[in-house]
Structure 1
């Protein structure tokens, strides 16, 4: 969308914004900014659309990366974006070679397919092609980025863009309704400003600078390979993976779903969060919710286990990343939803960052406090884990053993049926009644790459979190299944006794996966709470 800045209203603000620069440079910076705004610079000018293929042209994944903030929005289907689809259709047409560059008649853009060697763990050493969609606005931003003092005019940049795309000057002149001599003059001026000896030299220079787009479109993709593959395999119809850079240079990974103009809701996830996200798209659309789920460190990880276990502040890092996502998206104050083990973590987030949270919703929170006499196997499990938590090494080793067993889908089915056997609705969710497919394999895949995060959440909830993260200090609502086998409604009331009358929404007959089995009730309630909180400001 083209920028619609009120230049008169921002005149003094711009002067102040550039006041740290010397007077001449400040004036030049303000002039350039106003010139670009007046010319209608669009946000799309900073976006590079791309897609990856094997050497046979088979589509693997695609996305949109931003050259300004280095964020990446991934898509698993080529149908999700028209430019990605164009790249995929050209690749599928055949006769595609590494280095192919083709102008797209009538679209004012060109496609460029470059080879690279895959460095991720799933296919080390494999060679793939990445197709890049280069538009005129994007090309202009690259020219400005690497040649800030050159001062190329818009017609000069356009002529260089056409030449790099393989358009003959006479054709470019005809397309733009100008004379051939005018186009020659533009190229001559551009060569002088960019210190190039001629047309071949300026094309070589521009192509070299355009290669920067490969690194932008590659931003942190292979550090986030486990999350990327998981979303593609299980959640592609419901959520998209977005990768951003945090203020401290950390990689922020978020699942995002629902309409872009929906009321924003940030979820603090627990260990089973993908189960309630499978099939969530229609609920988010129906209730106009924009759901953002920051993936906390330790979950869906590509990093080695030893590196994660050496990081003693995983939970703190996760809380900081949640705050960074809220700031990056300008959401504060926002409705925060804590699901399962993420419920206690969400209370801690609200305690640390009260100005960022308008309302806290505990949705099927798991307090991991069930007594051995309650809820059968769940109570025995949590009691044992509380005991061994005092020995960090034993605690880690137990979780690593579970990782081996959860990795087997059939064993995973047995464990989950045992753990959730007290809830018929939860078993129905796991067997695929609501998500369209059995979910044991999804949970097995979650556990394989999330063992460290899960263990750290148990450590926090059963330890320090259980002692202090009980008072939210913000408006609080509780949405809970009446037959949750992990934490009963009565246990929730006892836990939250120090909070001033939290609003309780009982989901009759629901178990722990209420957001999946009773999605209409749960997501409608969350949407209503978020809209009321937003109206309060």
Structure 2
């Protein structure tokens, strides 16, 4: 929703009155300490420019930022949310404060002082900012306090701000229910990640995981069946490489939502999430990093919107899945066959296995059976079952993602490479040399058939490219992006 007021669009998350707007931002860890919006597109927004100008004038970051029309209150972030800047217009502030005041109106100087108090100024700092004497501000405060019922500077500021938020809450539209289970999972298993929601024009809400520095180079990462284990060292690697990954979650991933989508609707949802990430974080063109089963969605988005894709990196891409005579290999082969010919039966089978893997030992046995042929992948499984999570991360992520995984598995059975590579879009394969499910031999054959798409290998990795392989993978990917930039 966009509401115009006083010449500036209130964009982002707004209440229906147009009196407030919210920006999700990052403050900590930035060299200059200046807040930056998590959504890259908001840097060019007129209201954000107003915030930046206000901060420049007041000289330091306090609990709020003075604006010509209104103020921006800073709500510090925590493990479950980013830092938020809530912009309040003068009309919202003083309409609400008027209900606290006596019959006497507030003078312009008293309104100015009230805004300064809310933003964390004491009288001395307010006097210095305005170039007046401390005694002048003391006199203004005495008059302000009398009109607002008395109290200390902090009490008056708190009372006024509380009244504003009560007024806004009383007229705001009811909250739209949303699936917040992914917030809980990320808070438990990846506290260094940020969680976001964006709403498309149809009103549908999409969920995102955001990792890496907010001023890093943005890329949209399409996750494999479950989100990789993103630990503190991985976040630091992204900072070192100045790379930011925006990860749109597909329908049914890390979710308690049980509604199933058919193949076409699931692809539509995935492409819509990718496009939201592009518009809000990347601009006109998006760099896509599609991982394993995420390959299908990267290819589909590029087919639908070839003019919006700058590059497509296919990491551990699904090419021609091999099977074996092991129990896990026969199971995989059987599921591939059923998924291609009998979707209803396949869906019920996946729901059955989804219930089975809720049992910790059942999931561990299945994973060991699948990856036993490969020592590189077994080392990743061992790390998952070591400290600090003891396998609980994988179990909870798998168990809460069945509605998404069934589509991921289906697309692995029959990957669609039609229309690839897209003209004008540079592509690359990043591949673990020891991947036994999608072999490097098949990968190179495919790359040649597609016109010689480059294949970059990680010699010590298998299919699972995280834990010890995460930083080398991102380093290879960042090198690809930088090389593409220099060529263009």
| Preserved contact between residue 328 and residue 366 of structure 2 (Cα < 8 Å) | no
- Per the TM alignment, residue 324 of structure 1 is displaced from its structure 2 partner at its CA by 1.1
Partner of 2:304: 352
1:41 and 2:54 matched: yes
Q: How far has the Cα of 1:40 moved from its partner?
A: 2.8
Structure 1 residue 203: deviation in Å?
A: 9.3
Q: Is the 8 A contact 1:274 1:443 kept in 2?
A: no
- What does residue 76 of structure 1 align with? none
1:504 aligns with 2:455: yes
Secondary structure class of the residue paired with 1:519: helix
Gaps of 5+ in 2: 1-5, 10-45, 56-63, 66-70, 98-104, 150-154
Q: Which string of whole-angstrom CA distances, capped at 9 and with x for unpartnered residues, describes residues 98-146 of structure 1?
A: xxxxxxxxxxxxxxxxxxxxxxxxxxxxxxxxxxxxxxxx585852898
1:484 partnered with 2:435: yes
Match of 2:331 in 1: 381
Partner of 1:284: 238
CA contact (8 A) 2:75 2:85 kept: no
Note closer, same or farther for the CA distance 1:218–1:406 as it changes in structure 2 (3 Å cut): farther
**Counterpart of 2:254 in 1: which secondary structure?**
coil
Q: TM-score normalized by structure 2?
A: 0.70
Equivalent residue number for residue 271 of structure 1? 225
Residues 352-431 of structure 1: matches in 2 within 5 Å? 352-367=304-319, 369-372=320-323, 374=324, 376-377=326-327, 379-389=329-339, 390-431=341-382
Q: Say whether 1:299 aligns with 2:253.
A: yes
Deviation at 1:397, TM superposition (A): 1.1
Equivalent in the alignment of 1:455 = 406
1:378 and 1:334 map into 2 onto residues whose CA distance is 37
- Secondary structure of residue in 1 paired with 2:483: helix
RMSD: 4.6
Q: In structure 2, how many angstroms separate the alpha carbons of the residues matched to 1:346 and 1:386?
A: 21
Contact 1:375 1:486 in 2 (8 A): no
Q: Aligned to 1:178, which of 133, 136, 148? A: 136
TM-superposed CA distance for 1:288, in Å, is 2.0
Kept in 2: contact 1:332–1:358 (CA 8 A): no
Partner of 2:204: 250
How far 1:452 sits from its partner (Å)? 0.7
How far has the Cα of 1:393 moved from its partner?
A: 2.0
- Superposed, 1:18-33 pairs within 5 Å as none
Aligned to 1:468: 418
2:83 equivalent among 64, 71, 75? 64
Confirm or deny that 1:319 pairs with 2:271. yes
Deviations 1:357-396 (A, max 9, x none): 22111111234x4244x48455423321222222222111
Kindly provide the CA deviation profile for residues 400-423 of structure 1, in whole angstroms up to 9, marking residues without a partner as x: 111112222222111111111111
* Count of residue pairs the alignment pairs up: 415
- Measure the CA separation in 1 of the matches of 2:76 and 2:307: 38
Question: For residue 84 of structure 1, what is the aligned residue in structure 2?
Answer: none
Distance 2:318 2:95 in 1: 49
Cα distance in 2 between the residues matched to 1:451 and 1:234:
19
* Match in the other structure for 2:287: 335
Q: Is the 8 A contact 1:470 1:496 kept in 2?
A: no
CA drift at 1:349:
1.8
Q: Distance in 1 between matches of 2:120 and 2:456?
A: 63
Distance 1:144 1:39, change over 3 A: farther
State whether residues 157 and 190 of structure 1, in contact with CA within 8 Å, keep that contact through their aligned partners in structure 2.
Answer: no
Matches of 2:50 and 2:117 in 1, distance apart? 26
Q: Give the TM-score normalised by the residue count of structure 1.
A: 0.64
Alignment of 1:209 onto 2:164: yes
Deviation at 1:240, TM superposition (A): 1.9
Unaligned regions of 5+ residues in structure 1, if any? 1-13, 18-32, 53-59, 69-137, 192-199
* 1:289–1:144 CA distance, 2 compared to 1 (3 A): farther
Matching residue of 1:232: 187
Structure 1 CA distance for aligned equivalents of residues 242 and 124 of structure 2: 51
